[in-house]
């Protein structure tokens, strides 16, 4: 990554990271704060791996916009809510299938 060498007032060379590098670091920090907040809000609903996967998808989608830092928190929250709803639905269907197997004595292996 590019950096610009600048002389400070004492004549020493100072390496300053490029604007792009600084922006990417700020976006990464924002993403980590979003992960921390959503993991505390959805604790017990989604496991950490699934949560990070969903937030990575939101990050990729936000990166396609001109203002990813603006869209990332909202997109991440929407995707986490959708994943939590999907997982709850899957648990409900799994419970129903176990009930049906218990009532009809179906074999577990298909």
pLDDT at 7: 65
How many helices and strands, by DSSP H and E, does the chain display? 3, 2
Question: What average pLDDT does this structure show over 17-32?
Answer: 88
pTM: predicted TM-score of the whole model, two decimal places: 0.69
Give, to the nearest 10 degrees, the angle between helix 68-104 and helix 48-63.
Answer: 140
Whole-angstrom distance, CA of residue 14 vs CA of residue 96: 65
pLDDT in tens, 71-86: 999 999 999 999 999 9
d(CA 34, CA 55): 8
């Amino acid at each position: 990554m590019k950096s610009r060498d600048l002389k400070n007032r004492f004549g020493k060379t100072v390496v300053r990271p490029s604007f792009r590098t600084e922006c990417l670091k700020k976006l990464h920090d924002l993403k980590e704060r979003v992960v921390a907040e959503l993991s505390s809000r959805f604790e017990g609903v989604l496991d950490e791996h699934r949560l990070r996967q969903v937030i990575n998808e939101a990050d990729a989608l936000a990166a396609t916009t001109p203002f990813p830092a603006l869209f990332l928190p909202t997109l991440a929250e929407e995707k986490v809510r959708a994943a939590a709803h999907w997982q709850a639905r899957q648990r409900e269907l799994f419970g129903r299938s176990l009930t049906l197997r218990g009532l009809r004595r179906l074999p577990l292996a298909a």
